[in-house]
Amino acid sequence: MTARSWLALAPDPPGLALPDDLRDRDPLRGRDCGWVSQMRPFVRAFSRPGEVVFDPFCGFGTTLLAASLEGRRGLGTEIDPDRAALARERLRRHGVEAEIVPGSLPQARLPARIALCLTSVPYFGCDWRGEARAGPSPGQLPGQLYGAPDFAQYLATMRTIFHAVREALPDDGYCIAMVENARLGDRMVAQAWELARLLGSLFEPCEERVLLYPARGAASMGTASMDAASTGAAVADDDPARTDRSHEYALVFRKRRPALDIDGARALLRRLRADGHDLQVYGSFLPWLDADPAADAPPPSDIDARVDGDPERFRALLATLVRLGFRLSLWGDPVNADVRPETVRAHGYLRAERLQGDGRRVQLDLVPRDAG
C-alpha cells in the first residue's frame, strides 16, 4: 500500500457497484453503500490470502466482496435482515456464498477466527426509513444504530460492538474503521474524532488515511455522501466555513498492549504509598514491582491495583493522580476526581493514564474495594 496518507478513490465500475435493482429495494436506496475499490487496498495490506476479513456492519457486503476478490474469506454481521438478504444476493451474483451472521456483536457468534476488522461505520442521525431496533438502554441491547435516539446511546453501542471486535481479533490484528465528521442539520458532529477516541480506549492508534472522493454530485458516491444526502443540507457557496465534505477517514488501529514506563510506574507507586495511599497491585505488573523478573515475564502495559473504596480516600487518591498529570476515564469517557467508587465498580475499573512529552506512559487500572 502506498505510504501516502491519502487515497483518491474512483467509483466502482458497473460490474462491481451495487446493482440498481438491489439499490431500489433498499430504504436508503443504497446511499450508505461504500465502494469495493475503497476496501481492496486495505484488505491487501492488512491481511494475508486465505485469512478472514470481518465487517461488523457489513451492509451490502462491499467489504466481503473486496475480501473475496483479494482471495480472503469475508465474514460479516448485519442487524438488518433485508440488508443482509441484499448482500447475499449481490455476492451470489459474483459467485460468492456470503458468510453473514444476522444480528450484531456481542450477541452474534462468529463462526471463524478473524484476522482483520475492516468496516464503514453506520452514521449517527441518518434518516433511517427501515425498522429501528434500538435497545432499551445504552450499551445493553445493541440495535440498529441508524435508529439510535441520541449520540450517547450511539457511542455506547459502538463501544460495546468494538469491544467485542477486540475480543475476536488476535494480538497485533488491525481494526480499521471508515468514518467522517458529518453535518446534522446546522451542526457539525465530530463522529470521526469521537470514534477515534472510543477506539483509542480499546486499541492502539496507528494511523489515519484520508479517503478523497470525487466532488459531490458524482453519479455514485460512497458513504461520504451520507451527511448532506440524509439531511438534505445544501452547501452554500457564500459560507466559507462549509465545504462539500467529499472526504472521510480510514482510522487504523491495532490490538496491542502499549509499553509501560516501568521505572516511572515503580516511582509512582513509591510516591503514592509514601503519601499514605493504599494500593494492592495484582496482575501483570506484580512480577515487575520491585525489579525486573529473572524469568521470562511478558512486559506489563499497565498497573492493575485494588484500592481503598472509602469515598473520601478514593477521591484523595484520584486528586493526587490528577495533580501528577494523569487523565482519568471510564470506558474511554473522561471523568474527574469526583467520580464515585460505586460508579467505577459498575464499570469494572477506572483508568488513569499519564502520557509524557517524551512519549513514555504510565497507566493504572484501579478497582475500588467494597467500602464495607
Residues that bind ligand SAM (CB under 6 A): 32-34, 56-57, 59-63, 77-80, 83, 104, 120, 122, 142-146, 157, 223
Report the nearest approach of ligand SAM to the CB of residue 248 (Å). Answer: 11
| Measured distance CA(240)–CA(246) in Å, rounded | 15
**CA 209 to CA 290: how far, in whole Å?**
42
Our CB check for ligand SAM shows the closer of 13 and 372 to be: 13
Q: Tell me the residue number closest to ligand SAM, measured at CB.
A: 59
- Reply yes or no: is the peptide bond before residue 106 cis, omega within 30 of 0: yes
Q: Report the C-alpha gap between 76 and 93 in whole angstroms.
A: 18
* Residue with smaller CB distance to ligand SAM, 81 or 283: 81
Q: Which residues, listed in sequence order, are joined to residue 187 by a DSSP beta bridge? A: 184
Strand (E) or helix (H) holding 205? strand 204-212
7: β partners: 211
**Cell 466481503 belongs to which residue?**
64
Shortest CB 166 distance to ligand SAM, Å: 16
Q: How far apart are CA 195 and CA 251, in angstroms?
A: 9
Helix (H, G, I), strand (E, B) or coil at 87: helix
Shortest Å, Cβ 258 to ligand SAM: 28
CA distance linking residue 309 with residue 364, whole number of Å: 16
State which residue, 37 or 363, has the beta carbon closest to ligand SAM: 37
Distance CA 359, CA 368 (A): 28
Q: How far apart are CA 346 and CA 351, in angstroms?
A: 13
Nearest CB to ligand SAM, comparing residues 135 and 368: 135
Angle between helices 36-46 and 62-69 (to 10 degrees): 50
For residue 85, the minimal CB distance to ligand SAM (Å) is 12
Considering the complex, what minimum distance in angstroms separates the CB of residue 138 from ligand SAM? 13
From the CB of 183, what's the least distance to ligand SAM, in Å?
16
> DSSP labels for 12-75?
PPTTTSPPHHHHHTSTTTTTT---HHHHHHHHHHHS-TTPEEEETT-TTTHHHHHHHHTT-EEE
Q: Are 97 and 87 in contact (CB under 8 A)?
A: no
* 3 state DSSP class of 311: helix
